[in-house]
Chain A
């Protein structure tokens, strides 16, 4: 028996990356801004999106891709608000892969849209690993979790282009240290914007929507230049 070593140097996310690139091409061509909401189960991602609906009206035309392991409950919640929505079922996987997202994305009438919101499967680890071709991963963290979450999930908070802290209206009932949380985010990813919202009370959403509109404008303008 003789052994032989074959050098390869191949990116292991290659197959996912192929589909992520297709999505990047499509959203660049259609001048869409695409976000990927990532947070723990129960962090308030769907409620945030529900609350965004009325604020986005007249500002950005949008569609939502809802990722879940099972059930169409989240898509039904948004459908009830007349939102263009597709439910993506990961079939047990803890994250969305680029191929599934791409297939659902191109089913939308993209010329009629400015913004694509992907709500990933509730999980703070796997979705941070898988690029789906989005412009920005957004970390969603509620005040009912720990202020040390940014330190416990550094890849997510490092990859994120912004953080949305949710359920701020519950702060008086909790021991959550908001300033410590802000400091922890800064230690992992200095300089990213942090939006603090209370979706149920309709508070703090405006700044978040304004940021999305600014990002979308930048995407549209850079597309015009090239």
Chain B
């Protein structure tokens, strides 16, 4: 249930960004978040946490939209890059386990969709 802890960070960041929008919007409609696959977020749990954590905030009633980026790696031996299937961190070409993650650790607020006056 690490979704709740992650969602606390999402809500805190979104509240700051929402307060900065000028002119002040009528309300927040949608929040877009991008998360790398390494975080292993269960979207339903994140959405539930979002509803609870925003219930008494200016963000109440908005929708959380989550896009999950697949985990990608680069091989240190043969320079292959491509998607890997968790939990095995292995090169898709030469089968080496000596790979670096090049995508999958992201966790960022992408955009706010607001209802403007």
Contacts and interface: CB of A to CB of B under 8 A. Distances in A.
Interface of A: 1-16, 93-95, 125-126, 129-130, 150-152, 154-155, 158, 186-191
A15 B9 contact: yes
B87 A3 contact: no
A187 B9 contact: no
Centre residue among A125, A150, A191 by max chain B CB count within 10 A: A125
A46 B10 CA distance: 33
Interface in B79-117: 86-90, 96-99, 101, 107-116
A187 B5 contact: no
A55 B117 CA distance: 67
B6 A188 contact: no
B51 interface: no
Contacts of A130: 5
B39 A155 contact: yes
10 contacts: A1-B115, A5-B111, A6-B112, A10-B13, A12-B10, A13-B107, A126-B2, A188-B87, A188-B89, A189-B89
Contact of B9 (A2, A13, A94): A13
Nearest to B29: A3
A15 B8 CA distance: 11
Contacts of B101: 158
B113 A5 contact: yes
A151 B29 CA distance: 38
A9 B109 contact: yes
Contacts of B113: 3-6
Given A2-B116, A129-B5, A191-B98, A7 B87 contact: no
B19 interface: no
B108 A11 contact: yes
A11 B107 contact: yes
Contacts of B21: 6
B88 A155 contact: no
Interface of B: 1-2, 5-6, 9-10, 12-13, 17, 21, 25-26, 29, 33, 38-40, 86-90, 96-99, 101, 107-116
Residues of A contacting B: mostly: mixed
A15 B10 CA distance: 10
Contact of B97 (A3, A129, A154, A190): A190
Nearest to B112: A6
Contacts of A4: 25, 113-114, 116
A188 B40 CA distance: 15
B82 to A, nearest CB: 17
A138 B101 CA distance: 19
Nearest to A187: B88
B5 A95 contact: yes
A15 B6 CA distance: 12
A124 to B, nearest CB: 10
A154 B99 CA distance: 14
A10 B109 contact: yes
A9 B5 CA distance: 20
A8 B6 contact: no
B13 A14 contact: yes
Contacts of B13: 10, 12, 14-15
Contacts of B5: 93-95, 126, 129-130
